[in-house]
Structure 1
């Protein structure tokens, strides 16, 4: 049976690669993104790859009312099998900085936290009503153990990690599966802006393969590379001062997000 997916942040990076991976299986895709030209290019690539159907809509995940209309309309046209809350941006600190720009922090939070809520919440009643469906939330290794060079981003990802864990337990009796995706370094336009050692970095296409396999198996947590996930979990058990001291030895520059404004 043809799967039906809604993916946010589908115009580039992991979102685009995941859409292409499912297109090759003949899936029906509802793609959301903010850049109209890149989004349409991604949609055309999915059609060429063999997608059964592709609908692309320009959308800002910060707009709660607009996202509710889009998600509900997509589900009404044909029930969603998988909803992927992927859209996100990064912000952080460069050496010498001690405080992130407040406007950049709030804009990033509006996308990475509120945007996830705005994407997922409208799908929950419909999925629970039919007793099926899968929600996938894209987190990050940065949500497993804090990093001193990206405080707000870590906070945002930790927030959605916890929310995904809560939803998984709450929605399971209603037949709805929840998968938390925890990627390490993936070669995307966003990660290319960060200047740091990136151990275990993989292409977005390879990341999409891993994510798709995990979603197909309905795994509750899809973390990769595995050794990094285990290491980050282990670091969270060690004395904080010890880990913080080691982390500060690395030269890392995380560019400030260009986003401003909280949306609606």
Structure 2
């Protein structure tokens, strides 16, 4: 993957997959703009990226604040064209200890962050890409898009929505020189996954996940999912009878910690 002349923007870059993607892209020579809510953690990631010899700016912003996000992205675009936009920002919430189902407040927060605000961010960078007739979009979804988690319905819905939106966007933009890749990782070690109190089969390091995701992006693949067994198990899960799916999901029940 070549760095090109534009800027690579990553949302949710202060930890987990976002941070790992930033460091991997820095090693490949990408000029970076990192977005996240935690300014201190974001700056620590940026320092590691700068150590690789690339320019890297940080922007502390909540993507749910569209006005603030618009200002940040406009400032980045004024410095250089945004060539790659990675929509990675997301939160995990769901059923808490003592609950049968997640609260409405948790569901609203997850859907706003993981889907609505992410789509809003995409439409803030798309005009520049469309005018130049070039650019790449990378959307970080989840295997929960294929196999809805009963303990996190809103998270599953948001990731399914992001998957469908990304694949549809890829076809809509294919004649305009803009590529779209949707990544659906399984369990990845991160601060967010630490709130997942339950079994996490096939969990991999964020660095490993980043390399797999960027390989799919480099190959201009529409969709990337891993690990292999969970990916195909998830994709096939909606085709089997409900009682079989229920048995398969039984070992994946969890609750969300504070």
Shorter chain as denominator, the TM-score bin is over 0.9
Task: For residue 121 of structure 1, give the secondary structure of its aligned residue in structure 2.
Answer: helix
Partner of 2:120: 118
CA distance in 2, matches of 1:240, 1:165: 26
CA distance in 1, matches of 2:237, 2:218: 30
CA distance in 1, matches of 2:96, 2:71: 39
Assess if the C-alpha contact under 8 Å between 1:67 and 1:118 holds in 2. no
Partner of 1:139: 141
Q: How does 1:1-264 map to 2 (within 5 A)?
A: 2-3=3-4, 4-51=7-54, 53-94=55-96, 97-247=99-249, 249-250=250-251, 252-255=253-256
Listed as ranges, the gaps of 5+ residues in structure 2 are: none
Choose between structure 1 and 2 for higher RCO, CA contacts under 8 A separated by at least 6 residues.
1
Change (3 A) 1:212 1:246: closer
Assess if the C-alpha contact under 8 Å between 1:95 and 1:252 holds in 2. no
Compute the TM-score of the two structures, normalised by the length of structure 1.
0.91
Residue 197 of structure 1 deviates from its aligned partner by 2.0
Per mean C-alpha deviation after superposition, the further-off stretch among 93-102 and 223-232 is 93-102
Between the two proteins, the alignment pairs up a number of residues equal to 255
Residue 241 of structure 1 deviates from its aligned partner by 3.6
Per-residue CA distance 1:21-54 (angstroms, 9 max, x = gap): 0111121001001001111111111101232x10
CA distance in 2, matches of 1:134, 1:75: 14
CA distance in 1, matches of 2:41, 2:131: 34
Task: For residue 198 of structure 2, give the secondary structure of its aligned residue in structure 1.
Answer: coil
> Moved runs in structure 1, 4+ residues, more than 6 A?
none
Compute the TM-score of the two structures, normalised by the length of structure 2.
0.93
Task: For residue 197 of structure 2, give the secondary structure of its aligned residue in structure 1.
Answer: coil
